[in-house]
Structure 1
Amino acid sequence: MQVTLSTRNPNAHIGIYYEKLDVHAIYQHQQITLATALPRTYLDHEEVSVWSPVLYGKDVAISPLVAAGLMEDLQSGCVSLDIKVSGRLKWKLGSSMIGKYQLIANCPAYIPLGNPSKMESAVKYEFVHLCKVKVE
């Protein structure tokens, strides 16, 4: 599955250096894809960056309770996932890099599914959901 994530630096004086970021998908509190590394990125004042990583997991073992929930979601035609981003960042003030901080973001995604009996596949939809972001 491919997801598109964007980040914006709203600050007029401080740059943001994303030193290490990983992204993966969660279904009902269980990780269902491998962690995918995002490229190191520097965002200057008021800049935007966009990433479109491909997340994958093959033969992922899930608990029976999660499997039952997945079957219900498949029958209803919509799956709810959380896209998790975690990593480290630094602030840049002038020519100085300041500190190392932990970044954790949770982005909800609601994915409508095609009808398997009609040989339809999931269609690309644009979802604009705000992520909950914590920097420590």
Structure 2
Amino acid sequence: MSHHPKIHPLDDPEATPVHPTAPLVPRGASRSEHGDPTKDPLTQRPQRFVPLAPPRKKRRSCCYRCVCYTICLLLLLVVAVGATIGILYLVFKPRLPDYSINRLQLTQFVLNQDSSLSTAFNVTITAKNPNEKIGIYYEDGSKITVWYMEAKLSDGSLPKFYQGHGNTTVIYVEMTGQTQDASGLMATLTDQQQRTGNIPLRIRVNQPVRVKLGKLKLMELRFLVRCGVFVDSMTTNNVIKIQSSSCKFKLRL
């Protein structure tokens, strides 16, 4: 029985050596005189650093600040005025005047040939100033009118005078007027008097005044007085009987 010789592999000195897959020296542990060979300046682009924009500061414009200052000044002014009014109210304790129609006389009430109505009234008004520390100057430019429904019958003006503290003043006013196309108005007035026994009239007063607080004379104001008066008839040259009357008072700047 023949024996085959065993062949054992021998190292071939001419064979290509097999390099290990892992580097013998860790990458980056050695540097050549020309620098790191792993970093090729031709293949790698240098990183570009973009500077960050500085944070924007909140700037308030001049217009915005002016508006804020104006609002603050207005608020301070309102507070100051309110405090002043409150102090004056506590010191002087103002009260509204009181007005009443005491007497009404019709001196002329004629329907003319051209259908116009001529009228003339004498009115007696009582004005009361209930304030103990406030005086009232009745200035020029006042107006008083007498109305029946929507037709103005007469007008006039109140005299200029000063009404002191707690004073009651009786005012006599003469008024005249002429109403055009008054035939229908005359018929309506006569019919109402026969049916109801009274005639409703309205008296309006627009009076400029100035209020005096102690020695201080304030700016001009306006008293608006509205009086509803029911009379028994419209007979001339007689004192008309006032069945009822009521007045409302308003103050306007």
User: Where on the TM-score scale, by shorter chain, does this alignment land: which range?
Assistant: 0.7 to 0.9
Q: Is the 8 A contact 1:17 1:43 kept in 2?
A: yes
1:126 positional shift: 4.9
- 2:146 corresponds in structure 1 to 25
1:39 positional shift: 0.8
Count of equivalent residues: 130
CA distance in 2, matches of 1:124, 1:63: 21
2:190 to 57, 71, 82: 71
TM-score between both structures, scaled by the size of structure 2: 0.45
Hey, which of these two has a bigger chunk of helix by percent?
2
CA distance in 2, matches of 1:99, 1:131: 25
CA distance in 1, matches of 2:198, 2:181: 18
Q: Is the 8 A contact 2:134 2:165 kept in 1?
A: yes
The gaps in structure 1 that reach 5 residues or longer are none
CA spacing shift, 1:14–1:37, aligned 2, 3 Å: same
Q: Is the 8 A contact 1:18 1:90 kept in 2?
A: yes
1:61 positional shift: 1.9
**Equivalent pairs: percent with the same residue?**
25
CA distance in 2, matches of 1:38, 1:68: 31
1:87 positional shift: 2.0
After superposition, the CA RMSD in angstroms is 2.6
Hey, which of these two has a bigger chunk of strand by percent?
1
- 2:217 corresponds in structure 1 to 97
Higher relative contact order (CA 8 A, sep 6+): 1
User: Which residue identity does 2:251 align to in structure 1?
Assistant: V
Range moving further from structure 2, 65-74 or 89-98: 65-74
Secondary structure at 1:70 match in 2 = helix
Measured against aligned partners, the alpha-carbon deviations of 1:31-83 in whole angstroms (never above 9, x if no partner) come to 111x212111211110011112122223x125777455323223234211011
2:180 to 61, 67, 91: 61
What does 1:1-136 align with in structure 2 at a 5 Å threshold?
1-20=121-140, 21-33=142-154, 35-58=155-178, 60-61=179-180, 66-76=185-195, 77-113=197-233, 122-126=238-242, 129-136=245-252
CA distance in 1, matches of 2:238, 2:171: 21
Secondary structure at 2:192 match in 1 = helix
1:4 positional shift: 1.1
Q: Is the 8 A contact 1:113 1:122 kept in 2?
A: no
CA spacing shift, 1:71–1:126, aligned 2, 3 Å: closer
CA spacing shift, 1:126–1:80, aligned 2, 3 Å: closer
Secondary structure at 1:53 match in 2 = strand
CA distance in 2, matches of 1:67, 1:100: 40
CA distance in 2, matches of 1:47, 1:127: 27
CA distance in 2, matches of 1:64, 1:124: 22
